[in-house]
Structure 1
Amino acid sequence: MSYSQRWQEVFGPLEGDARMTLASTAPEPGASGPGNLKHTGGPWTSAAGTAGDLRTSSETSRTALGPGHEGVTTGGAGLTAVAALAAVRTSWEERLAAVRDECDALQGALRKVAKEMGETDIGVRNEFAKVHGNPEDKR
């Protein structure tokens, strides 16, 4: 079986003005509706906001561990569980700090992607406008 024949099986016979297009793209330039392929900052900005919220809640929880353990050392003097509890507290403080720091870095990276994707849309739209002979169409 030749390469061409395999493509025929996959895509079927070519009829009329058949052409391969990207998934989710409009069938013709300028068409509107669910077939347009667009990058938006929305999902990236939303994810960045979620990372920021998680960063804030992680830090709030980490700082709440200290006051939550006040008096445990004196109230539990002589108990071996106090030392174990201190170790667990330290472990959670470290974990929550790591989550906080990771979310902080992720938030910045996601915001950068959102900005770059928006700039990509504008640049691609301008280049297509040039190809279609209307360089002033920069909607």
Structure 2
Amino acid sequence: MTDTEPQQDTRILLASADSDSGGGSGTHKASVQPWTTASGVAGELQHDMQAALADLEHAHDGIKSGTVGFASASALAGILGGWQSRLSSVRDHCSGLEGSLKKVGTDFGENEARVKASFDGVRATSKIDDYSK
């Protein structure tokens, strides 16, 4: 670019925030609430999977003793094991997600507070607001 060429505005906008396409105001806004909400949902799912496992085991109580010699008894045992494995995997995954999402929400909130404090500190010592008056 030469000194005679006009300088172009170079900004990056999120496609979803582009005001020309019906999006937002052109700025990215975020909050802690989605992270803590998602963490709560993961916790509920973890609890529900644990309850489903208990219900499944209870439903299969006594099947082996009452169905000795039937081919269906071994098939049911195989199905039980498969579902126990799947539900346990979902439960454990939700447990990990709950903690991770909660940590992200906490970290996000703490970072927002630090950034705000740093801007407030600069604003307190800066004369930039005096120029807009």
Superposition TM-score, scaled by structure 2 size: 0.71
Cα distance in structure 2, aligned partners of 1:20 and 1:129: 25
2:105 equivalent in structure 1: 114
Cα distance in structure 2, aligned partners of 1:37 and 1:107: 25
1:91 equivalent in structure 2: 82
The structure where helix makes up a greater share of residues is 2
Gaps of 5+ in 1: 5-12, 25-32
Task: Give the paired residue count.
Answer: 112
Gaps of 5+ in 2: 2-6, 18-23, 126-133
Q: Indicate whether 1:82 and 2:73 are aligned.
A: yes
Match of 2:43 among 24, 34, 52: 52
Give RMSD over aligned pairs.
Answer: 2.4
CA displacement at 1:119 relative to structure 2: 0.7
Cα distance in structure 2, aligned partners of 1:51 and 1:89: 24
Which residue identity lines up with residue 112 of structure 1 in the other structure? K
1:134 equivalent in structure 2: 124
2:33 equivalent in structure 1: 42
CA displacement at 1:87 relative to structure 2: 1.5
Kept in 2, the 8 Å contact 1:39–1:121? The answer is: no
Which residue identity lines up with residue 61 of structure 1 in the other structure? A
Comparing 89-98 and 48-57, the one that deviates more: 89-98
Cα distance in structure 1, aligned partners of 2:56 and 2:49: 11
Superposition TM-score, scaled by structure 1 size: 0.68
User: After the TM superposition, which parts of structure 1 deviate over 4 Å for at least 4 consecutive aligned residues?
Assistant: 21-24, 33-36
Encode CA deviations 1:78-108: one digit per residue, 9 max, x unaligned. Answer: 1111011111101211221121111111101
CA displacement at 1:130 relative to structure 2: 3.1
Cα distance in structure 2, aligned partners of 1:76 and 1:21: 68
